[in-house]
């Protein structure tokens, strides 16, 4: 294990930069490190994916070498999408591991990393019960965790790990003994304990969902206001530029992006508080048809999968319901 009091030489977080050792492991070093990884993966916390809590084992495990956590194959994709300045992802079995990388995994691991990255515990974590919404919600969760740092302790990860003392909540502080083991001391009562007391942590973080807003082109179905017979003939899809402001709930659309940028009066708009957002159809060519439905009106839209997911995420904190499962009818 890396000695306490200094950061592993392989990894530095700070100013958003992660520098990983590029040292190429010899065959002997690789073999040794495969054994070290297997040993780390036998620890209970590391056997559960750091993000989705699914089962992880050496053969199929991935790791974020920069953050120091073990994750499943599915969540390795989420980490990759964060960018290599946040997470460097390696396969435990298929990549060649050098000593520096494994040192960092040892000095963090899922248990300690959760105390930094989930210091303020998330009140809700996406689970399989979210059904088809789970993958999108996992992506939102991971973005909230690492990009907005919605749950993390203060400061940078490498500083947090070695800070001594580290002030905590309600008069508690964390100290390190001469072997680098952490203990907790409560100044008002002079109580000392090895286990992190609940009172030393902040309450769970409720607002995971932030109104980030969104903007971009979508196709909007128009026509069909006339009598029923004519309806089908008059229907068409118009490209419109949609804007949902950050922090807002009013979705507006414009004929051009310039109109939106200049703050012109929109061609139409819809208050999305309490709306139902649901997928209508996913075509074989990947086109997603979806509906935003409020008491006043319905907007029928279509887009690529990626655009749909962007808008579903942006609308989730505002709408009463966002559903990724195609709805019949």
By C-beta, is 100 or 118 nearer to Zn ion?
A: 118
Number of residues that bind Zn ion (CB under 5 A): 6
The CA distance from 147 to 117, in Å, is 11
By C-beta, is 51 or 307 nearer to Zn ion?
A: 51
By C-beta, is 73 or 325 nearer to Zn ion?
A: 73
Q: Which of residues 81-110 bind Zn ion (CB under 5 A)?
A: none
What minimum distance in Å lies between the beta carbon of 49 and Zn ion?
3
Q: Residue 43 carries which DSSP code?
A: S
By C-beta, is 79 or 158 nearer to Zn ion?
A: 79
72 near Zn ion, rule: CB under 5 A: yes
The CA distance from 52 to 130, in Å, is 12
75 near Zn ion, rule: CB under 5 A: yes
Question: Percentage helix, strand, coil, to 5, in the chain?
Answer: 30, 25, 45
The CA distance from 313 to 75, in Å, is 18
What minimum distance in Å lies between the beta carbon of 322 and Zn ion?
22
Q: Residue 20 carries which DSSP code?
A: -
* Contact region with Zn ion (CB under 5 A), list: 72-80, 125-133, 207-215, 292-300: 72-80
By C-beta, is 72 or 86 nearer to Zn ion?
A: 72
Closest CA to 68 of 48, 45, 88: 88
Q: Which of residues 33-62 bind Zn ion (CB under 5 A)?
A: 49, 51-52, 54
What minimum distance in Å lies between the beta carbon of 55 and Zn ion?
9
What minimum distance in Å lies between the beta carbon of 73 and Zn ion?
8
The CA distance from 44 to 264, in Å, is 57
What minimum distance in Å lies between the beta carbon of 92 and Zn ion?
14
The CA distance from 241 to 259, in Å, is 9
> How far is the CA of 65 from the CAs of 59, 286, 308, 313, in angstroms?
17, 34, 32, 28
Residues near Zn ion, by CB under 5 A? 49, 51-52, 54, 72, 75
């Amino acid at each position: 294990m890396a000695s306490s009091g200094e950061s592993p030489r392989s990894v530095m977080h700070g100013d958003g930069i992660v520098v990983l050792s590029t040292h190429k492991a010899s065959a002997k070093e690789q073999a040794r490190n495969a054994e070290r990884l297997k040993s780390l993966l036998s620890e209970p916390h590391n056997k559960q994916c750091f993000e989705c809590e699914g089962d992880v084992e050496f053969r199929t495990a991935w790791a974020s070498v920069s953050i120091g956590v073990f994750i499943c194959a599915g969540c390795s994709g989420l980490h990759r999408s964060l960018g290599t300045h946040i997470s460097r992802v390696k396969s435990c079995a298929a990549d060649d591991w050098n000593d520096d990388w494994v040192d960092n995994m040892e000095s963090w691991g899922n248990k300690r990393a959760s105390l930094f990255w989930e210091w303020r515990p998330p009140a809700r974590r996406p689970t399989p019960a979210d059904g088809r919404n789970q993958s999108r919600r996992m992506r939102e969760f991971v973005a909230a965790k690492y990009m907005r740092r919605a749950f993390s302790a203060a400061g940078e990860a490498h500083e947090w790990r070695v800070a001594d003392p580290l002030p905590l909540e309600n008069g508690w502080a964390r100290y390190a003994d001469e072997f680098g083991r952490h203990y907790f001391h409560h100044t008002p009562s002079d109580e000392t304990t090895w286990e992190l007391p609940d009172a030393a942590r902040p309450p769970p973080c409720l607002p995971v969902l932030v109104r980030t807003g969104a903007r971009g082109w979508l196709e909007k179905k128009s026509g069909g206001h006339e009598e029923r017979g004519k309806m089908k003939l008059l229907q068409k899809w118009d490209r419109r530029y949609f804007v949902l402001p950050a922090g807002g709930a009013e979705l507006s659309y414009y004929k051009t992006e310039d109109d939106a940028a200049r703050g012109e009066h929109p061609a139409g708009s819809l208050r999305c508080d309490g709306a139902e957002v649901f997928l209508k159809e996913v075509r074989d060519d990947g086109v997603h048809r979806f509906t935003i439905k409020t008491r006043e009106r319905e907007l029928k839209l279509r887009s690529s999968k990626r655009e749909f997911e962007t808008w579903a995420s942006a609308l989730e904190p505002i709408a009463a319901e966002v559903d990724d499962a195609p709805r019949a009818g």
